[in-house]
Structures are given as C-alpha cells and as structure tokens.
Structure 1
Amino acid sequence: MNTIKLSTREKIAYGLGDTGCNFVWQTVMLFLAYFYTDVYGLSPAHMGTMFLLVRFIDAITDPLMGSIVDRTKSRYGRYRPYLLWIAVPFGLSCTFAFFTPEFSETGKIIYAYASYIFLTLMYTAINVPYCAMANALTNDSQERTSLQSYRFALSTMGGLVVALVALPLVDLIGGGNIQKGYVGAMAVMGFGAIALFFFCFANVKERFTAEKEERRPVKDDMKLLLKNNQWRILFILNVLLLTAVVLKGASTMYYVNNVMGRADLATTFMVAGMLANIVGAIISAPLFGHLDKPTIYKILTVISGLLSISLFFVQPDNIFMIFALVIALGVIQMSTTPILWSMMSDVVDYEKTRSNRSLSGMVFSTNLFAIKLGIALGGAAVGWILAGAGYVGGASEQSQEAISAINLLFTVIPGVVFISLAGVMAKYELDNKKLAQIKALLELDAKQQHEDSKPKVHNVELTV
C-alpha cells in the first residue's frame, strides 16, 4: 500500500467544502443566538432549552448517518455522493432558520424548533460523509494533518466572509427591516455553500475505502467504539472543546455591544478573530505536524485558556489590548484544530487494527455528535446564564449583573474549559511511535488482502 501525497489542488478543493459549510455554520455560531433573542423575539430561556433538546435528536441521527455512510456504495464512491445529494437542502436550511414568520408566540416557538431541527439534520447529512472522506483521500498521518490545515484555513476564510459581509448584507437587503435583512443575507450564504460543495465533489478522489466487510448491526459498531478508549477520549474532548468555543462565540455580539460598548466595532472584532484563525490553521502543519500530536495539543490548549482568562482583567476601553489578546487566542486555538481532526483519522486506523473494522463514518459521526452536544451545552449555558442575570433582549441598556455575566461567558468560563482539555488528553496514547506501528500493520494487512485476492494457479499434470 503506497503512501499517497495529495496535490495542492485537491487539498484546496477539499477545504472549500468546509468553506461552504462554514458559510452556514459560522453564521449560526455568530448570529443565531443573537437573532433569536433580539430579532426573532425568543426568550433566552426558550432559546437555551431548544439548543439542548435538539441534541437528543442528534444522539440518534448522527451515529445512524455514520452507519449509513459506512455502508454506502455508488459510482461516485462512499462519501462523495452526499456532497452532491445534500448540498441544496443544506443551503436552504440556513434560510429557513433565519426566517421570522408572522405567527403567535407559540407558533414562533414551534417554527424555531422545526427550522433548527431541519438545519441540524442537513448539517449531519452532509458533514458526516465530508469529514469521513479525509480517510479515503490519503493513508498518511502527516498528509492528513496537512489536508486538515488546508481545510481549516479555507473553512475559516468562509467564517471571515461571514464576519465581513453578513451584517452589511442584512442592512443592504433589509433596508431598515432587520428581519427581512437576515433572511436575505442567509439566502446568499446558503447559495454560496451549495456552489462550493459542488466544486468539492467534482475535484476530490476517494482512494482508500475498506474492502468488503461483513455487514453488522449499528449497535455492534457502536459497542466497538465504546470499548475504544482513544475514541472515548476524543469524544469527551470534543464535547468540552465546543462548549467553550460556543460560550465564547455566542457571547461575542453581547460582549462587543454591552461590555465594550462598541457596537460599531462588531464587524472589525469578528474579522480580526477570523484572520487570526486563518493564520493558526495555516501554521499548524508546518510548525506542529512533525511533533507528537497529544503533547503539542495539551500545550496549546493550556496557552489558549490562559489567554482567554486574561481578557477578563482588561478594561473594556482598552481596545488595543482586547484585540491583541483575541488575535493571539485565535491563532493558538485554531492551530489545534487540524491536529484534533487528524487525531480522529488516527483513531479510525487504530480501530481497524483493533477490531478489523473500518468505522470511519461512525468515528466521525459520533464525534460530530460530540461537537453538536458541546454546541448545545454552550448555547444553552449562554441562554440560561443571560436569563439568570436579567438580560433583556433589545434593551438599550443592561444591568451591571448582566454585563458581568457576559464578560465571564466570553473570558473566564471558556478559558477554564480550555485548560481542562489538557487533563482529558493525559491518557491519549496515539503518538508518533504508535502511529508508525499502526501504519505498518495496515500496510501488511493490505498486502495480505491483495495476495489473497489473486487468482490461484494450480499445476496439473496431464496424462496423455
């Protein structure tokens, strides 16, 4: 089994798929909580509860989608066809989520649940195969880290586009009608996502998919993963990580508007963070790709936590220092992301050597569920903490208690969670030495399967 080095074109094409995904998902991360409370008219408590309850649906649909993907066979491959089939409904789902119907309060709550559920289902249907596809493109661990660096650099560029144009689009399309502006802006984002997923589909190639395996029930595959301690570590880590990321992301607009008191800097603030993220994603593979992933990940998460906590002690009018810390945090925190996603691919290979099962779809789908569970916990915590602190959506002024709560949500609380990730990683064992052993075992197994598949030639002595 030869090691595959991917072309720059293919890495870019793969990364642009996540650019499209981020056109939608970064919009959700940055604006949906604020949209629900200050535009749509949902109470913070209702919003927080909805974010959490919808994750119970994901608990079923994410592993189910992973299982479906692992069993898919088509002329386009195992993972690629979903980019073609789901792109359009995924793009539309964002528009539906940011639409404000003329319903009663109860009707609006029901619509919010329905549209948010549809959005998360479409995200699952396209993102599970997209993420799992990385394993089918190359079999080299360092090349996967490079691939993920391209992915997250381009993904963050999608987030940068959102930060740059979303609010101006809302103003331009809305013409003073903010509800109309949001739905129009999200329609533009959705169309961009559709186009980029089509481009990704057309320019990547699956090379490594498992040989024919015995079909087993989904519950059996799930039991295998539950026994995999390396998978369990990454699952817990993703829940905590995304809880922290969403605490910070969902409270960004509140922080800029109410703590800094500089609503005019909202776009600049988000753009600075996105540019920092792009730098972090780009430098990740060149600086850290050859190092032991668990070690460097622990170091970088502790630094991220300390930077986040330090923001709490900066005066709100010290704009330079706030921007400096946010940029530094963005670079460091995003540099960990390609490493983490490369580790998920390593867990797929580890499971193959452990159980002789290729569970790429299941590994990535369950970790996507962990990510969405973290998103839900973070979003719910923001809603509940704001409600408990007396935040009033749309009010020109907030109480000091509400402002203090927002400050903690953006700085100290996520910082503590970032630091805790180093403890979670303490027993993660797939370092460079172990990965080399796994790769050798997989190559030996592939060679044996190739030999077994050759037609047998028997020498037969003919009697004339």
Structure 2
Amino acid sequence: MNQNQLVPLKARISWGMGGWADNFIFQMLMILALPIYNIELGIDPVWVGMALMLPRLFDAITDPLMGNISDNTRSRWGRRRPWIFVGALLSAILLPLLWMPPFSGKEASIIYFAIVSTVYALTYTMFVVPYTALGFELSNDYDERTKAMSWRMYIGLLAGLCIPNLYAWCQHDIFEGDILKGARWVSLIVAVTVLITGLLPAILCRENIIPKKQEKLKLGKALIETIKDGPFRLLLSGYVIIITGLLTSAALALYVNIYHVFAGDKKLAAEVSALGGMLAVVGAYLGVRLAAIISAKTGKKETMIIGLSLALISVGSMIFTMQAGFQVHEFWGFKFHPQAISFFFYGMGQQGCWLLIDSMTADICDEDELRSDRRREGMFGAVKSLALKSGVAITGLTGGLVIKFAGVSDATQGVDVAVAATLHKLFIIIQASGLVAGIIIFIFYPITRAKSAETRRLLDARNSANPLT
C-alpha cells in the first residue's frame, strides 16, 4: 500500500465523530416511537408504524436527489461538507420536537408525529448521504478503507452505549413518572451532542479525492446506472433483507421483555434491556476489530458470512435466555439477566457486517469508475442509505402489524400471557429468517480481494495516463 493511501489519524477521528450524530439521529426516532406513542399515549401500533413509514416513502425521492446533488456540487468547501453542516444543524433542532405534540387527541398527535418525522427525515438525509460519501473517499486501498471506516463504528458505538438507556432515562425519578416529559428533556440533551459531533466532519475534514472535470449526470440516469450495477444490487438485496428481519424483531424486543419476561414491569424491563444493549455495544467493539483483522487475512465476503453466522447463533440462544424465571442480579446499579450474554455475541457478529457493507460499497465505486469513468460516491451512498431507510420503512409497518397480529392493540391495557409468548416466538423466527437469507445472498457476492486489486491497478494506470486537470 502506498503511503498516500493511508488515512491520517486526525482525519479518521474527525470523520468518525459523525458516527455519534448518525447513530443518535437515526436510532432515537426508532427506539422511542412505539414506547412513547403506543405504550404511553395508547395509539394503535399500526398507526405508529404508518407514521414511521411515511418519512421513508419521502426518502425514496430525497435520498437519490441528495446523492446526485452532492456528486454535482462544486463549492470552495467541497462537494460534501456544506451539506453535512446544514443537515446536522437542522436535525439537532428537530430532534426534541418529535416528542412535543401540542394536541391531546390520539389522531392529532399521530398526524403531528408523522409530519415532524418526515421533515426530520429530510434533514437526516442532508447529513448522512454526503457524510457517507465523504467516508468512501477517505482511501482507495482495499484494507485501509475498512480500517478508516471502522472509526465511524468506534465512535458511533459510544453513542450505542447510551441508546439502550434512552427509554430508561425517560423514566428517571426526576421526571416524576411523566415519561413524555422525560423524552423531551433527554432528546434535548442528545440534540446538543448531535450538533457538536455532526458539525465536526464538516469543519475538520478535507475531501481528499478531487473530482475530475466530469459532465454532471442527471438524476434519472445517475440512479439507473447505480441500480444496474450487479454487485451493488446483490449487496443491497442482502442488506435490506437482513435489516428487515432484524428491525422488525427489534420492534418486538421491548414488548417481549415487558410482557413475556417481566410480567408487565416496564421499569425493570427497560433497565435489563439497557444493560443487554450496552453489552451488545461492547461486543460490537470487539466485532469491528475482529472484522478488520479477519478481513485483512481473508476477504470482506468471507468475514461478512462469519459475522452473520455468529449473529444467527446468538439469536437462536435467545430461545432460552429471554425467558421468565431467571433471577435478575444487580451489579454497580445495572440489572443483569442471562439474555445479556446473547446480546453480547449478537453485537459482536452483526456490527462487523455493517462496517463491511460500507467498505464493500467503496470497492463497488471503484468498479463503477472503471466502467463509467465517473466518481459517484454520493449516489451509491444515497441508494445504500435509501435501502437502509426502506428496510426501516418496511419494519416500521411490519413491526406494528406483527405486534397487532400477535394480539396487542392498546398496550396500556396490558398483554395476555399467551400473546406475550407468541411475541417471543416471532421475535426469534423473524430475525433468524433474515440472517439465513443474508448468508445465502453473500455467498454469491463477486468482488474478491484479487478482483478489487486488479480494478485498482487499472484505475491507477488510466489516471496516470490521463491526470486531473
């Protein structure tokens, strides 16, 4: 690897800080939507799911548009950084407003939530699409890309240590039982951290890849060319299927703990879920490091399959660990339940996979440049972001439908024991199905270490013969 392909530590950290903002902007909406609007306000879970799906439909337009705008932007600050700045600022402003419906009626409250979350989705797109594209440009080396992008995971996972505690923090004694009030104050504090960390990549990073004087590509043609890419379609298929399975099940997790494991005790369930989520983050840290090591010795496809297999085994173990009857132990103020062990290994398996998705997308950008003679990280990042959000849109609805299918409507009235057991079974089956399908798809992923190296050699030779002007 040439020295100029190494990413300086300052650049890694500066770009990685955006992972904190990214995690909170995306996760806070998903983590608190059902607990606040269904469990606390008594709104039908299907309606909450519909409200979560609406912004994702909007994303089908705004994500590719933002990717194309970013690719075609020419400014003294670069293609990506101005949009990162504006997106982070607006997202931080809107975050607390998600939990401030000025109405008492259920219908008016859910309409308000749908509108605000749709605008919030737009500001998130303005941040995350250029931010991801900036990461693709950090290096053109097969392994250095994985190492550099791991900083987004390392710093983002610090946020991940906090995210499982969000619902528990909303129930802190300082809020005197008013969970909606708790959500507002907690999200306000989070918004300040989002503002700081989201602005850092825009202020401190520099765009290392200078775009060629290439013709600006219209949105429709750019989108078609991106979707026509065979390896990218395969990558997206596996990504969306895995996301759909995992996030549909994630919508059930808190319900399983509250009503199946802890017999309706919301506070204990939130505290146990918080520790389980935090241990999953600890496992994820190890998973990111192990993924980088294994990938350097084998390849990204092989590492992806190993990580998904470990996640699948961990999900299977939840058949036994997410059960009532285990004694809850307290250590240093945290509530430990055996399910935390399953979540630890689950985090270790799946987090390395998310790292590799980004690194593999950067390799696909090289393949695209070899074919089209254009750098289009923005559009590839946008379509990847749209795939993630599409998975979230599907799960926002399917999560609510599965909850209602199992027999839950108004959770403020409690959940029957048999219904809770059904939720537990569906929680396991849906996740496992998505992981198995993902493993099968990635077996056929075509870009190997050798193919990527050959593509890079051809690009370097062509660029040397035709230097940038």
Same fold (TM over 0.5): yes
Partner letter of residue 440 of structure 2?
G
Native 8 Å contact 1:174 1:184 kept in 2: no
| Aligned mates of 1:18, 1:139 — CA distance in 2 | 21
Alpha-carbon shift at residue 274 of structure 1 (Å): 2.1
Alpha-carbon shift at residue 428 of structure 1 (Å): 1.4
Query: Which residue of 306, 318, 332 corresponds with 1:299?
Result: 306
Matched, 1:389 2:406: yes
| Aligned mates of 2:254, 2:440 — CA distance in 1 | 30
Report what 1:419 is aligned to: 436
Matched, 1:285 2:292: yes
Deviations 1:110-139 (A, max 9, x none): 201101101211111100000010122222
Distance 1:409 1:206, change over 3 A: farther
Deviations 1:97-117 (A, max 9, x none): 122322433321220110110
Matched, 1:369 2:386: yes
Q: If you compute each CA radius of gyration, which structure gives the higher value, 1 or 2?
A: 1
Alpha-carbon shift at residue 394 of structure 1 (Å): 4.1
1:22-33 aligned within 5 A: 22-33=23-34
Alpha-carbon shift at residue 289 of structure 1 (Å): 3.1
Instruction: Specify every segment of 5 or more residues in structure 2 that has no aligned partner in the other structure, as ranges.
Output: 263-267, 328-336
Tell me the secondary structure at the aligned position of residue 336 of structure 1: helix
| Aligned mates of 2:387, 2:422 — CA distance in 1 | 26
Report what 1:310 is aligned to: 317
| Aligned mates of 1:223, 1:2 — CA distance in 2 | 36
| Aligned mates of 1:259, 1:400 — CA distance in 2 | 7
1:159-198 aligned within 5 A: 159-164=160-165, 167-168=168-169, 171=172, 174-198=175-199
Number of aligned residues: 452
CA RMSD of aligned residues (A): 2.1
Alpha-carbon shift at residue 418 of structure 1 (Å): 0.8
Distance 1:129 1:447, change over 3 A: same
1:87-106 aligned within 5 A: 87-106=88-107
| Aligned mates of 1:394, 1:331 — CA distance in 2 | 32
Instruction: Specify every segment of 5 or more residues in structure 1 that has no aligned partner in the other structure, as ranges.
Output: 454-464
Report what 1:131 is aligned to: 132
| Aligned mates of 2:410, 2:278 — CA distance in 1 | 24
Report what 1:459 is aligned to: none
Alpha-carbon shift at residue 338 of structure 1 (Å): 1.1
Identity of aligned residues (%): 23
1:202-241 aligned within 5 A: 202-241=203-242
TM-score (norm 2): 0.91
Deviations 1:315-350 (A, max 9, x none): 433465422111111111112221111001111111
Native 8 Å contact 1:142 1:290 kept in 2: no
Tell me the secondary structure at the aligned position of residue 137 of structure 2: helix
Deviations 1:120-166 (A, max 9, x none): 11111100000010122222121110112121121111121233466
Distance 1:108 1:43, change over 3 A: same
Alpha-carbon shift at residue 169 of structure 1 (Å): 5.3
Matched, 1:408 2:425: yes
Report what 1:378 is aligned to: 395
Native 8 Å contact 1:153 1:282 kept in 2: no
Report what 1:461 is aligned to: none
